[in-house]
C-alpha cells in the first residue's frame, strides 16, 4: 500500500510538473506584449525595457522557466504584472471563493445525483426511472452558462427568490448567507452533471441488483431493502466514484463560466482577467494551482476506489 | 406418511416476455419427505432452475406464479407475506447455487458473509463470527481462519462452493435446494463436494431438492427423481428405477444419448432424439413431447396425458409408456457423402508432431511454467483426447498448436513433417487452413453481425482462395453437409439454437479442408441430446476425410467415446498416454485413477473413490520430484517414496503404446488397483 501511495504521489507530482511546463510555453505563445498591455500606449521604449527587466522578461525563455519553477517550489507564486502585487494576494482569496462555490456545488451534486441514480435503478422501467434518465440527459445537453443565465433570469430577476449575485453584498456575510448566494450557480452545475452521474450510478446499481450475490443475500433472508444497503451500494459505487473523479476538471471548467455570469470574484474570474491582461504570472500560477487541485482529487478517488475494491487493493499490496 | 417438507401442488409459473405470459412450469406436482433427496433432471430450458427457485419463492423480475401452491411443511408460501418468506429463508430453507464465486459478494470478506446468516437470526457480531468459523470447519475447508478473511475472487471454485454450502447449512435448514451445485467444477473437486453434501446430509437429515443435468451425479445423490421436459413433469420414480427402467419416451431417449463406457465411435453411433427442444413457453394442446416422440399418434397431439402409475411409486405422463422401453432406436444416418477434402494427404505416418512443447508465462516477475516439455503426435484420421483438470495446460497446448499463443523457442510443432512458425501471423495460409478450431462457446466464436453463410464463406475465401460467388456456393455446400437447413443460411447466429450454432462453427472450421481440428470442449455447453448429434457429425467428418482431432473435454464419457488415444495432463505435463480403452480400464497412472474414479456412473456401479488430497499446487512453485507426489493416492506404501519426492519420473513406455510418468512399477500399480 505504501509503495502504491508513493508511486501515485510521484505520478501526480510529475503530472503537475508537466502541466507547468506546458502552461509556461502556452502563455508565451499568446499574442500581444505584456509590457505594452500593462503600461499603456503612452509608455516609452525605455519604460518597456525597464518593465521587462523588472519581471525578468528580457531573459531567455528557458531561464525564465527555470526561475519560475524555482520560485514555485519555494512557494513563491510570483508578482502580478498588472498590479505589481504578489500573485498570491489575488489568487489565494479567489481560490477560497471558488473552493466555497465548488464545495457547495459538490455537496449538492454528488448526493443528489447518486440518490437519483439509485432511485431510478430501484424503479427500473417505471415513471421515476424515466424521469431521472430522460430528464437528466435533457438537462445535460444545455451548457452550464446557459443554465446560469436562465436560472438567473427566472429565479433572480422575474421571481426574485435568489440573489442575482453569488457574492453577498457586504462581500462576505455569514456562512448561511454565503451558501444561499451560491445555491443558484451550484444548481446550474447540478443540472449539467446530474444526468451523467445519475446514469452511471443507475447502471452500477442495476448491475449489482441483478448479480448473483444480491440473489444470495435475498435468499439468506434479507429483505430487499436491507440487501440493497448491505450488498448492492458498495459495489455499485465503484463506477460512480471513477466518474465523479473524472468530472472534477469539468466542474472546475464550469465554475469559470458560471462565476462570470453570477459576478463572483472566484478563481475563474481572476484567471479570465489575467488572460485579457496578459498577466503571465497570475495565469501560470493559477493554472498550476488548478491542476494541483484536479490531480489531488484524482488521487483521492484512486485511493477511495482501492479501499472499496478488494481486487484492486490486493493487486496493490502484492 | 408425515407432512412433506416441500410439496409443489399444481404449480404454474409464467415469464412475461414482451408483454406475453409464457408458461415455464406447467402443472408441476411433487413432494419431498423429511430427509429425502429428490432430484430434478432435464435439459436446458426445461424449467428445472425455475422450479428450484420457486421452492424458495424466488422468481426473476418478469416471473410470476400463475397457479398452484408451494407448501413448506404444509404452509403455502405463495400466500405468505414477504417478511414471512424472509424468515423461512433465514431459518429453515437454504439454497446452494451453480456459480459459487459469483454468488459471493466480491467486496465483503467471506467470513462476514457467512456470519451475516447468524446476525440475521439475532446473534451478536462476535458470536456470529465464532459460529461462522465453526460453519467453515464443518464443511472441511482448509485453513478456515484464513478463508474467513478472504474475498470471493481469492477462492477456487471448490472452496467457494464449500463456503456457499457452509452459509446454506448455517441455519440448520430442514430443506436444502441445490441448483447444479457442481456444474463447472473439476471432476475430482465435484466428487469431493458431493461427498461432503452426502456426509452432511447423513448428519443432519436435511431434505434436499437437487437440480442437475448430470444423471450420474443424480444417481449418486438422490433417492427419487423427477424428469422435466418443457416445463412439465413427465416421469417420476426412485432414482434406480428411472435410470435403469425408464418408462417415458423422453427419459428413454435421454438416457440413450449419453456416451457411456463400452461405446466407441468406431463401433457405435450415438442415438439422438429427433428434433429440438421447444422454445420457451410454447403452448401445447397435447403431450409436450409429442413433436419429437417416435411413438406419438394423433391422440398424443390433441389430448394432454395424465400421470399414470407404471410401477411401484413410479409414474409417467404418457399414453404409450408400455412401448417406451422397447421403442425404436433413433440412429440418424451418416451425413450424405460430403467430402470436405479437396487435397488428399498421401503420406502415412504422423500428421501432427509436437516435441519439447513448453510455455512459460511471466506473472508479476515470476516465471510460471504452465506447459512442460510435452511431446505428442497425431496420425491422420486419429483423435487424440486431452484430459486434465483446470490448470493442467490443455487449453494452452491447443493454443500453441494453433499459433494463438507463442510456444517457447525450443518447442517444435510440425505438420506433415513441416515445422510451423510459432505464431499464427508468421504461418502461411495453407498452414492456417490445415489447423482449425471449434470452440466451446459458439455464441462468442461466431460474428453476430454476419449471416451464417457469410461466416463460413469468409473462411472459405480466406483459406481456400476462392472468389466471392464460388465461396458462397461452397459455404452453402458445407452448411448443408453439416445439416444446417438451407432456409437458415441467411440467419444470424442469434436466431439459431446452440446445436445449430455449433454446426456453423464446425462448418467454418472445415472451410479450409483442415488436416487437424482442435475441438476445445465442443459439446460442453450443449444438452446431451444435441451433444450426441454433434459427436456423430464429428465422427462422420473424420471418417470421410481422415481429419484428425485434438479433442479437449472434461467429460470423460465423451472423451472415451470419441478418442483413439488419450493423453492425461497434470500441471502441464503428460502423466499418461495410451489407447482410450487402456487409459480407462487400467492399470492407470495414479492421477488418472483418481480422475476416472471420481466420475459418478449413471448405472450406479460406483467404483471405489480414489481421493486426491489437497489442492492442485501452483505451477509457479511445483513440488520437487514427481509433481503429483504431495497428493498421490498410491505413493504411500509403494516402496519408492524416496524416489517420488526427489526425482521427477520420465514419461516411459510401460507396455506397448502405453506411456506413464510414474516411478511405481506397472505390475505393482495393476495389483493395487485391482484390489
Closest CA to B587 of B525, B674, B649, B476: B674
Closest CA to B233 of B292, B175, B289: B289
- Please report which confidence band the pLDDT of residue B148 belongs to, taking 50, 70 and 90 as the band edges: very high
Residues B571, B617 contacting (CB under 8 angstroms) = yes
- Tens digits of per-residue pLDDT, B511-526? 888 999 999 989 888 8
- Say if strands B352-363 and B308-311 run parallel, antiparallel, or are unpaired: unpaired
B82 touches chain A (CB under 8 A): yes
User: In the predicted model, what is the mean pLDDT of chain A?
Assistant: 84
Which residues of chain A lie closer than 8 angstroms to B175, CB-CB? Answer: none
Residues B321, B333 contacting (CB under 8 angstroms)? no
- The DSSP call for residue B13 is E
Q: pLDDT per residue over B73-115, tens digit each?
A: 999 999 999 999 999 999 999 999 988 999 999 999 999 999 9
Query: CA of B609, closest CA in chain A: separation in Å?
Result: 32
Cα B480 from chain centroid (whole Å): 28
Of the candidates B604, B555, B556, B596, the one whose C-alpha atom is nearest the C-alpha of residue B219 is B604
What does the DSSP 8-state code read for residue A79?
B
Q: Which three cell numbers stand for residue A120?
A: 431510478
Look at residue B5 in the predicted model and tell me its pLDDT.
Answer: 95
Pick the CATH number of A92-317 from 1.10.3720.10, 3.40.50.970, 3.20.20.70, 2.120.10.80: 1.10.3720.10
Place of cell 437454504: B94
Please check whether residue B46 is in contact with residue B278, taking contact to mean a CB–CB distance below 8 angstroms: no
**B62 contact A CB<8A:** no
Q: How far is A318 from chain B (nearest CA, A)?
A: 9
Q: Which residue of chain B comes nearest to A123, CA vs CA? A: B61
Q: Calculate what percentage of chain B has a pLDDT beyond 90.
A: 54
Kindly write down the DSSP assignment for every residue of B273-326, as one continuous string: -SS-PPPTT---SS-TTGGG-TT--HHHHHSPPPPEEEETTEEE--TTTTTGGG
For residue B335, pLDDT over 70 is answered with no
With H, G, I as helix, E, B as strand and everything else as coil, classify residue B577: strand
- Which pairing describes strands B232-238 and B224-229: parallel, antiparallel, or unpaired? antiparallel
| E-strand stretches of B73-202 | 75-76, 93-96, 175-179
Q: Which of B61, B106, B154 to mutate to test the interface with A (most CBs of A within 10 A)?
A: B106
Give the confidence band of A246 by pLDDT, cuts at 50, 70, 90. confident
Contact status, residue B451 vs residue B413, Cβ threshold 8 Å: no
Under the banding of pLDDT at 50, 70 and 90, the label for residue B305 is very high
Which residue from A223, A230, A234 is facing B86, i.e. has the nearest CB?
A: A223
Contact A212 B154 (CB under 8 A): no
**For residues B399 and B338, is the Cβ–Cβ distance under 8 A?**
no
The answer to which of A162-166, B78-82, B235-239, B252-256 has the lowest mean pLDDT is A162-166
pLDDT digits (tens, 9 = 90+) for A109-138: 999 999 999 999 999 989 999 999 999 999
Mean pLDDT over B300-310 rounds to 93
Domains, chain B, in order of start with CATH, read 6-222 (3.40.50.300), 253-331 (no CATH), 352-570 (3.40.50.300), 586-674 (no CATH)
Confidence of residue B348 (pLDDT cuts 50, 70, 90): low
Distances (CA, A) of A28 to A55, A253, A275: 14, 22, 11
pLDDT-based confidence at residue B337 (cuts at 50, 70, 90): very low
The CB density around residue B627, as the number of other CB atoms within 10 Å, is 23
Strands B573-579, B658-660: pairing is: antiparallel
Which residue from A213, A219, A221 is facing B105, i.e. has the nearest CB? A213
pLDDT in tens, A40-90: 777 777 887 887 777 777 778 888 888 888 888 887 877 777 777 888 888
B213-241 average pLDDT score: 93
Residues B432-455 have pLDDT tens digits of 889 999 988 888 888 888 999 999
User: Mean pLDDT across the stretch B332-349?
Assistant: 52
Which single residue is written with the C-alpha cell 460467388?
B469
Distance (Å, whole) CA B281 – CA B13: 10
Beta-carbon contacts below 8 Å between A and B: 71
pLDDT greater than 80 at residue B374:
yes
- The answer to whether A219 contacts B58, with C-beta atoms less than 8 Å apart, is yes
Residue B530 belongs to what H/E stretch? helix B528-545
User: Which residues on neighbouring strands pair with residue B369, listed in sequence order?
Assistant: B360
Residue B281 has pLDDT above 60, yes or no: yes
Of A297-306, B84-93, B164-173, B446-455, least confident by mean pLDDT is A297-306
Using pLDDT thresholds of 50, 70 and 90, give the confidence band for residue B333: low
Residue B67 CA to its chain's centroid (Å): 34
Determine the Cα–Cα distance for residues A279 and A90; give it in Å rounded to an integer: 12
Residue of chain A nearest B86, judged by CA positions:
A221
Cβ–Cβ contact B242 with A under 8 A: no
Instruction: Output the pLDDT for position B340.
Output: 52
- pLDDT of B189: 85
pTM of the model as a whole: 0.83
Q: What is the mean pLDDT of residues A199-222?
A: 93
Which chain B residues have a beta carbon less than 8 Å from that of A234? 107-108
Q: Provide long-range contacts, Cβ within 8 A and 24+ apart, for A65-74.
A: A65/A21, A65/A24, A65/A25, A68/A20, A68/A24, A68/A284, A69/A20, A72/A20, A72/A285, A72/A288
| pLDDT over threshold 70, residue A266 | yes
pLDDT-based confidence at residue A95 (cuts at 50, 70, 90):
confident
Residue A260, pLDDT score:
84
Tell me the C-alpha distance between B515 and A136, whole Å: 58
pLDDT of residue B336: 46
Q: How many CA atoms lie within 13 Å of B373's alpha carbon, on the beta-carbon side?
A: 6
Q: Does B154 touch chain A (CB under 8 A)?
A: yes
Which letter does DSSP use for residue A298 in this model?
A: H
Contact between B120 and A217 using a beta-carbon 8 Å cutoff? no
- In terms of Cβ atoms closer than 10 Å to its own Cβ (0-12, 13-18, 19+), residue A161 is exposed
User: B208, B52 in Cβ contact below 8 A?
Assistant: no
Q: Are B289 and B208 in contact (CB under 8 A)?
A: no
Report the alpha-carbon distance of residue A123 to residue A142 in Å, rounded: 26
Quick check: bond before A245 cis, omega within 30? no
B272-289: average pLDDT:
85
**ipTM higher than threshold 0.85:** no
**E strand map for B428-558:** 435-438, 516-520, 548-552
Q: Hey, are the CB atoms on A220 and B87 less than 8 Å from each other?
A: no
Verify whether the Cβ–Cβ distance A212 to B91 is below 8 Å. no
**A1 pLDDT exceeds 70?**
no
For the segment B381-430, what is each residue's pLDDT rounded down to a tens digit? 999 999 988 888 888 999 999 999 999 999 999 998 889 999 988 998 88
Given its phi and psi angles, is residue A41 left (phi above 0), alpha (psi -120 to 50 degrees) or beta? Answer: alpha
Most A-contacting residue of B103, B115, B119, B157 (CB-CB within 10 A), to test interface: B103
Beta-carbon separation of B120 and A221 below 8 A: yes
Break chain A into its structural domains and give their ranges: 92-317
- Closest approach of A210 to chain B, Cα-based (Å): 9
Cβ distance of B106 and A212 shorter than 8 Å: no
Alpha-carbon gap: B404 to the closest alpha carbon of chain A (Å):
27
Mean pLDDT of the residues in chain B: 89
- Cβ neighbourhood burial of A189 (10 Å; 0-12, 13-18, 19+): buried
Inspect the interface and report whether the beta carbons of A221 and B154 lie closer than 8 Å. no
Cβ separation A216–B154 shorter than 8 A: no
| Span B62-75, average pLDDT | 94
Residue B606: is its pLDDT beyond 70?
Answer: no
Rounded mean pLDDT of B203-227?
92
Nearest-Cα residue of chain A relative to residue B116 = A220
CA distance B379 to chain A (A): 45
Most confident of A240-254, A282-296, B504-518: B504-518
Report which secondary-structure segment, H or E, holds B367.
Answer: strand B366-378
User: What is d(CA B517, CA B498) in angstroms, rounded to the nearest whole number?
Assistant: 20
pLDDT in the model for residue B92? 93
Quote the CA–CA distance of A149 and B37 in Å, as a whole number.
71
The three cell numbers of residue A276 are 485579457
Chain A residues with CB under 8 Å of B153 CB are: 310-311
Contact B584, B407 (CB under 8 A): no
Interhelix angle A280-308/A61-73, rounded to 10 degrees, is 50
Amino acid at each position: 500500500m505504501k509503495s502504491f501511495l508513493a508511486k501515485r504521489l510521484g505520478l501526480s507530482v510529475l503530472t503537475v510538473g508537466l502541466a507547468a511546463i506546458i502552461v509556461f510555453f502556452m502563455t508565451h505563445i499568446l499574442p500581444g506584449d505584456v509590457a505594452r498591455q500593462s503600461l499603456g500606449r503612452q509608455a516609452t521604449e525605455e519604460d518597456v525595457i525597464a518593465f521587462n527587466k523588472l519581471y525578468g522578461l528580457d531573459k531567455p525563455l528557458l531561464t525564465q522557466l527555470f526561475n519560475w519553477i524555482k520560485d514555485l517550489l519555494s512557494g513563491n507564486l510570483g508578482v502580478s504584472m498588472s498590479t505589481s502585487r504578489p500573485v498570491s494576494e489575488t489568487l489565494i482569496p479567489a481560490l477560497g471563493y471558488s473552493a466555497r462555490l465548488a464545495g457547495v456545488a459538490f455537496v449538492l451534486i454528488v448526493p443528489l445525483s447518486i440518490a437519483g441514480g439509485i432511485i431510478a435503478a430501484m424503479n427500473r422501467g417505471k415513471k421515476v426511472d424515466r424521469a431521472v434518465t430522460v430528464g437528466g440527459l435533457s438537462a445535460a445537453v444545455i451548457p452550464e452558462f446557459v443554465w446560469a443565465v436562465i436560472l438567473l433570469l427566472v429565479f433572480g430577476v422575474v421571481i426574485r427568490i435568489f440573489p442575482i449575485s453569488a457574492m453577498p453584498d457586504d462581500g462576505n456575510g455569514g456562512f448561511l448567507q454565503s451558501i444561499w448566494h451560491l445555491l443558484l450557480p451550484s444548481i446550474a452545475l447540478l443540472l449539467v452533471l446530474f444526468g451523467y452521474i445519475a446514469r452511471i450510478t443507475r447502471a452500477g446499481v442495476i448491475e449489482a441488483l441483478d448479480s448473483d450475490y444480491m440473489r444470495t443475500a435475498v435468499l439468506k433472508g434479507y429483505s430487499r431493502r436491507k440487501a440493497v444497503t448491505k450488498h448492492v451500494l458498495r459495489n455499485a459505487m465503484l463506477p460512480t466514484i471513477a466518474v465523479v473523479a473524472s468530472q472534477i476538471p469539468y466542474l472546475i471548467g464550469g465554475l469559470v463560466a458560471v462565476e462570470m455570469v453570477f459576478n463572483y470574484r472566484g478563481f475563474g474570474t481572476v484567471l479570465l482577467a489575467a488572460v485579457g491582461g496578459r498577466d503571465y504570472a497570475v495565469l501560470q500560477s493559477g493554472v498550476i494551482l488548478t491542476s494541483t487541485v484536479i490531480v489531488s482529487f484524482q488521487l483521492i478517488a484512486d485511493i477511495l476506489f482501492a479501499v472499496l475494491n478488494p481486487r484492486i487493493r490486493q493487486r496493490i499490496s502484492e | 406418511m408425515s407432512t412433506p417438507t416441500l410439496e409443489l401442488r399444481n404449480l404454474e409459473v409464467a415469464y412475461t416476455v414482451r408483454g406475453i405470459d409464457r408458461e415455464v412450469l406447467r402443472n408441476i406436482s411433487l413432494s419431498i419427505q423429511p430427509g429425502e433427496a429428490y432430484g430434478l433432471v432435464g435439459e436446458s430450458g426445461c424449467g428445472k432452475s425455475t422450479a428450484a427457485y420457486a421452492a424458495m419463492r424466488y422468481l426473476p423480475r418478469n416471473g410470476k406464479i400463475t397457479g398452484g401452491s408451494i407448501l413448506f411443511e404444509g404452509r403455502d408460501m405463495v400466500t405468505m407475506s414477504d417478511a414471512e418468506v424472509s424468515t423461512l429463508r433465514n431459518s429453515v430453507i437454504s439454497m446452494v447455487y451453480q456459480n459459487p464465486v459469483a454468488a459471493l459478494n466480491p467486496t465483503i470478506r467471506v467470513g462476514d458473509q457467512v456470519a451475516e446468516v447468524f446476525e440475521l437470526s439475532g446473534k451478536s457480531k462476535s458470536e456470529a463470527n465464532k459460529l461462522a468459523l465453526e460453519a467453515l470447519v464443518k464443511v472441511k475447508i482448509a485453513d478456515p481462519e484464513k478463508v474467513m478473511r478472504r474475498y470471493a475472487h481469492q477462492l477456487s471454485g471448490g472452496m467457494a462452493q464449500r463456503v456457499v454450502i457452509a452459509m446454506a447449512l448455517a441455519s440448520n435448514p430442514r430443506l436444502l435446494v441445490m441448483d447444479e451445485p457442481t456444474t463447472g467444477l473439476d471432476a475430482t473437486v465435484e466428487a469431493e463436494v458431493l461427498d461432503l453434501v452426502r456426509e452432511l446430509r447423513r448428519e443432519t437429515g436435511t431434505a434436499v431438492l437437487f437440480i442437475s443435468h448430470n444423471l450420474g451425479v443424480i444417481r449418486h445423490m438422490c433417492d427419487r427423481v423427477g424428469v422435466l421436459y418443457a416445463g412439465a413433469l413427465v416421469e417420476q420414480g426412485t432414482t434406480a428405477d428411472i435410470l435403469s427402467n425408464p418408462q417415458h419416451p423422453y427419459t428413454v431417449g435421454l438416457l440413450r444419448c449419453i456416451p457411456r463406457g463400452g461405446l466407441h465411435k468406431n463401433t457405435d453411433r450415438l442415438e439422438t432424439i429427433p428434433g429440438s427442444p421447444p422454445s420457451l413457453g410454447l403452448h401445447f394442446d397435447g403431450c409436450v413431447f409429442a413433436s419429437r416422440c417416435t411413438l406419438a399418434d394423433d391422440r398424443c397431439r390433441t389430448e394432454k396425458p395424465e400421470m399414470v402409475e407404471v410401477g411401484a411409486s413410479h409414474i409417467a405422463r404418457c399414453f404409450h409408456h408400455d412401448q417406451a422401453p422397447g421403442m425404436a432406436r433413433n440412429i440418424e444416418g451418416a451425413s450424405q457423402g460430403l467430402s470436405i477434402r479437396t487435397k488428399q494427404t498421401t503420406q502415412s505416418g504422423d500428421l501432427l508432431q509436437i516435441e519439447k512443447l513448453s510455455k512459460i508465462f511471466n506473472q508479476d516477475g515470476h516465471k510460471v511454467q504452465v506447459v512442460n516439455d510435452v511431446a505428442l503426435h497425431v496420425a491422420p484420421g486419429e483423435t487424440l483426447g486431452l484430459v486434465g483438470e483446470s490448470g493442467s495446460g490443455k487449453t494452452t497446448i491447443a493454443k500453441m498448436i494453433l499459433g494463438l499463443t507463442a510456444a517457447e523457442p525450443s518447442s517444435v510443432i510440425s505438420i506433415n513433417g513441416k515445422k510451423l512458425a510459432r505464431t499464427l501471423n508468421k504461418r502461411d495460409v495453407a498452414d492456417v487452413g490445415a489447423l482449425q478450431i471449434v470452440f466451446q462457446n459458439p455464441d462468442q466464436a461466431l460474428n453476430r453481425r454476419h449471416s451464417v453463410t457469410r461466416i463460413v464463406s469468409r473462411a472459405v475465401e480466406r483459406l481456400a482462395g476462392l472468389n466471392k460467388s464460388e465461396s458462397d456456393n461452397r459455404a452453402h455446400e458445407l452448411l448443408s453437409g453439416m445439416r444446417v437447413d438451407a432456409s437458415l443460411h441467411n440467419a444470424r447466429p442469434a436466431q439459431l439454437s446452440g446445436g445449430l450454432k455449433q454446426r456453423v462453427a464446425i462448418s467454418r472450421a472445415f472451410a479450409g479442408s483442415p488436416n487437424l481440428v482442435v475441438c476445445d470442449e465442443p459439446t460442453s455447453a450443449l444438452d446431451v441430446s444435441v451433444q450426441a448429434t454433434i459427436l456423430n457429425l464429428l465422427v462422420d467428418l473424420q471418417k470421410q476425410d481422415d481429419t484428425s482431432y485434438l479433442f479437449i473435454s472434461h467429460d470423460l464419457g465423451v472423451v472415451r467415446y470419441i478418442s483413439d488415444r488419450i493423453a492425461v495432463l497434470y500441471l502441464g505435463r503428460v502423466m499418461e498416454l495410451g489407447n482410450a480403452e487402456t487409459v480407462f480400464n487400467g492399470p492407470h497412472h495414479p492421477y488418472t485413477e483418481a480422475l476416472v474414479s471420481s466420475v459418478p456412473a449413471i448405472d450406479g456401479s460406483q467404483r471405489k473413490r480414489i481421493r486426491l488430497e489437497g489442492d492442485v499446487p501452483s505451477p509457479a512453485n511445483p513440488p520437487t520430484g514427481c509433481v503429483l507426489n504431495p497428493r498421490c493416492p498410491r505413493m504411500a506404501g509403494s516402496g519408492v517414496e524416496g524416489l517420488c519426492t526427489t526425482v521427477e519420473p520420465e514419461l516411459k513406455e510401460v507396455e506397448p503404446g502405453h506411456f506413464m510418468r510414474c516411478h511405481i512399477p506397472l505390475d505393482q500399480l495393476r495389483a493395487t488397483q485391482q484390489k
